[in-house]
């Protein structure tokens, strides 16, 4: 569980941060990142964390930007309840299935468990960073879940699933920073060769992101793809030959 980090993006209530720290302690997770909290009053956080989780509270890392907070992670799990949003164009799984994957991946990779604000959850622009989307099923009578409850459900499923992990683990994956650099590189090349439109390239890159989200790229895989991009760029400039970027 030491490779798991809970990431709270834009939480509005300090008490929820404290309650999440208590949940993390229960499930053996020692790392929490908070991005752009509306209120991070330390006393209110500690109240809900109780003295049992004060060590977790003391180690909380705070960031202003989500992409910087997620940059060093190899795999990112995003939680969302907006299954009807056609803009996502992504399949979602339930916590049990998610836990099976993460119990394996987290053996050799840093995994971020990403949760959005209490009132709206994660936006599409934030969900684009995620390798996996998970939806917690609820009754139609009340679909919304308290932030700390959602964190506990996700962490509990992973905690129990780890007992069934085999001895063969997923190798170290590319970090978010490496993946984002690759997408930027691909986007530049695709615009140059006319594969995507120069107007709003991020929109046209959405399907490319979805394509790669269905696989698990290693750092070496990303290096190969960027090497290909570099050679395509050289070819377009009439400079054919090997370079330091060539794999």
What CATH code is carried by the domain that includes residue 72?
3.40.1280.10
- What is the tens place of the pLDDT at every residue in 179-210? 888 888 888 888 888 887 777 777 778 888 88
Q: Which domain holds residue 10?
A: 4-164
Domain count for the chain, please give it: 2
**Structure confidence at residue 238 as a pLDDT band (50, 70, 90):** low
Q: Which of 115, 130, 164 is the last residue of a domain?
A: 164
- What is the tens place of the pLDDT at every residue in 49-87? 889 999 999 999 999 999 999 999 999 999 887 655 545
Q: Are residues 150 and 224 in the same domain?
A: no
- Its pTM stands at 0.76
Q: Are residues 155 and 192 in the same domain?
A: no
Q: Are residues 223 and 126 in the same domain?
A: no
- What is the tens place of the pLDDT at every residue in 83-117? 555 455 566 889 999 998 898 888 888 999 999 98
Burial 8-29, CB ≥16 within 10 A → b, else e: bbbbebbbbbbbbbbbbbebeb
The reply to whether 24 falls in a domain is: yes
The reply to whether 206 falls in a domain is: yes
* CA dist., res. 135 & res. 140, Å (int): 14
Q: What is the pLDDT of residue 227?
A: 85
Q: What is the pLDDT of residue 247?
A: 47
* CA dist., res. 39 & res. 207, Å (int): 36
Q: What is the pLDDT of residue 37?
A: 92
The DSSP element (H or E) to which 5 belongs, if any, is strand 4-9
The reply to whether 145 falls in a domain is: yes
């Amino acid at each position: 569980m030491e490779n798991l980090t809970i990431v709270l993006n834009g939480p509005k209530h300090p008490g929820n941060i404290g309650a999440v720290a208590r949940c993390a302690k229960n499930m053996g997770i020692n790392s929490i990142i908070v991005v752009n909290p509306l209120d991070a009053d330390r006393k209110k956080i500690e109240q809900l964390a109780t003295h049992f989780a004060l060590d977790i509270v003391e180690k909380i890392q705070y960031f202003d930007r989500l992409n910087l907070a997620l940059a060093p992670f190899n795999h990112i799990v995003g939680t969302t309840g907006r299954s009807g949003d056609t803009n996502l164009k992504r399949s979602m799984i339930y916590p049990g299935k998610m836990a099976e994957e993460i119990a394996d991946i987290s053996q050799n990779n840093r995994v971020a468990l990403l949760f959005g604000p209490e009132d709206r959850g994660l936006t599409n622009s934030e969900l684009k960073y995620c390798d996996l989307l998970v939806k917690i099923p609820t009754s139609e009578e009340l679909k919304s879940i308290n932030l700390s409850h959602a964190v506990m459900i996700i962490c509990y499923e992973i905690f129990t699933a780890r007992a069934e992990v085999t001895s063969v683990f997923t190798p170290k994956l590319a970090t978010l920073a490496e993946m984002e650099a690759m997408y930027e590189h691909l986007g530049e090349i695709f615009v140059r060769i006319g594969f995507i439109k120069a107007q709003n390239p991020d929109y046209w890159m959405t399907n490319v992101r979805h394509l790669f989200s269905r696989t698990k790229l290693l750092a070496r895989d990303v290096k190969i793809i960027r090497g290909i991009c570099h050679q395509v760029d050289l070819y377009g400039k009439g400079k054919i030959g090997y370079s330091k970027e060539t794999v």
